[in-house]
Amino acid sequence: MRLATSFAWVLLAAISIGNGVAQAQTQPDWDQFLVGVFDEARANGIRETTLHAALDGITPIDRVIELDRRQPEGTLTFDEYMSKRLPPELIAEARSQYDQNLPLLLSVSEVYGVDPTAIVALWGHETRFGQYTGGFDVIPALATLAWDTRRSDYFRGELMYALKILDEGHITHDKMQGSWAGAMGQSQFMPSSFDGYAEDWDRDGRRDIWTTKGDVFASAANYLSRHGWQTGEPWGAEVRLPAGFDTSRAGHDNPAPLSQWMAQGVTFKGPPPTVGADEPTTLALPGGPNGPAYLVFSNYRVILRWNRSDYFGMSVVRLADLIRAR
């Protein structure tokens, strides 16, 4: 380990508001922080050779701190977002990737009970079918965020999972690339999600979500399956709300039977999805109370377990529909 004397943040003030009073937290010394990481990882059974290969000589990454501090501006409307995320070329590529990988996708679908179009849609949205998986070294990026005071506990846990992944031999340190926040591979799993859901489809002893398509597809399918995906079930559909409808009922925390929404005058714009009257259903208003309205079912809420954003969720299910509708 070496002292990061050139790093701009020797002492950072992390502001927390408690009872209306701002409190400054002192940034820990980097070398002392790494000593603690070594000790904790050893206690978790990580081998010494793995720790030194991964941690020796690393320094905090200024760019990671900058990106973590940047607040989302939220300037895109829902319609703008959907246009941006679903350009014609992406739709065409998604259909092509689906066709090229159909035998493998069908095999994965049969094992996990997840629609192959959902797998391809997530794959396309996360990394443009494996083309853009992130250019940051995962260990230094996670170490930077664990050392920083803003979300240190969360990222320290992710760092421990990442070291475990290296220790188990799923990927080498030099190839463990991902986003600035540590999301990895073609499925963009955080290390804890990798530990819980990544799969070794080809049975080579490694769960390789970076380069092995079978592992990528099976890992995404396993995640969806374990969160309750029901193959062949509709995700939902666009609806009309009656005049004066109380839109405060929108949201995914309190689903109600479909029959209750129908009894209150909500109607589908197109053919009603084939689900039972008692199907747990929620109202989604991704563009706000004056935008389009959707009644959505359990598979849509499973997609939100991947990324709890209606913008993201709607773009994924729409892409899956477009792959299917040919």
* pLDDT one-digit tens code per residue, 123-148: 999 999 999 999 999 999 999 999 99
Q: 28 and 170, same structural domain?
A: yes
Q: 151 and 53, same structural domain?
A: yes
In the chain, how many domains are there? 2
pLDDT at 122: 98
Q: 146 and 35, same structural domain?
A: yes
Q: 155 and 277, same structural domain?
A: no
In a domain, 9, yes or no: no
SS3 for 150-217 is CCHHHHHHHHHHHHHHHHCCCCCHHHCEECCCCCECCCCECHHHHHHHCCCCCCCCCCCCCCCHHHHH
pLDDT at 306: 96
* CATH number of the structural domain spanning residue 54: 1.10.8.350
The whole-angstrom separation of Cα 212 and Cα 200 is 9
In a domain, 152, yes or no: yes
The whole-angstrom separation of Cα 108 and Cα 324 is 17
pLDDT at 26: 76
pLDDT at 301: 97
Using the 3D structure, point to which of 122, 152, 184 is the last residue of a domain: 184
In a domain, 146, yes or no: yes
What Å distances lie between residue 273 and 107, 263, 267, 270, 303, CA to CA? 27, 16, 11, 9, 18
In a domain, 266, yes or no: yes
pLDDT at 74: 65
pLDDT at 98: 98
Average pLDDT of the residues of the chain = 91
Q: 142 and 289, same structural domain?
A: no
Using the 3D structure, point to which of 145, 165, 184 is the last residue of a domain: 184
Q: What do you get for the CA distance between the two ends of the chain, in Å? A: 57
User: Closest Cα to residue 250, out of 317, 310, 319, 311?
Assistant: 310
Q: 257 and 172, same structural domain?
A: no
In a domain, 199, yes or no: no
The whole-angstrom separation of Cα 261 and Cα 178 is 42
Q: 292 and 143, same structural domain?
A: no
Residues 209-235 pLDDT 10s:
999 999 999 999 999 999 999 999 999
Q: 168 and 35, same structural domain?
A: yes
In a domain, 50, yes or no: yes
pLDDT at 254: 84
Q: Say which residues have a Cβ less than 8 Å from residue 16's Cβ, sequence separation at least 6.
A: 22, 23, 25
Q: 49 and 148, same structural domain?
A: yes
pLDDT at 2: 34
Q: Structure pTM?
A: 0.89
Q: 140 and 285, same structural domain?
A: no
Whole domain around residue 241: which residue ranges?
Answer: 236-296
- Neighbour tally for 200: CB within 10 Å: 16
Q: 141 and 19, same structural domain?
A: yes
The whole-angstrom separation of Cα 254 and Cα 240 is 20
In a domain, 169, yes or no: yes
In a domain, 322, yes or no: no
Q: 143 and 31, same structural domain?
A: yes
Q: Which residues of the chain have pLDDT under 70?
A: 1-25, 71-74
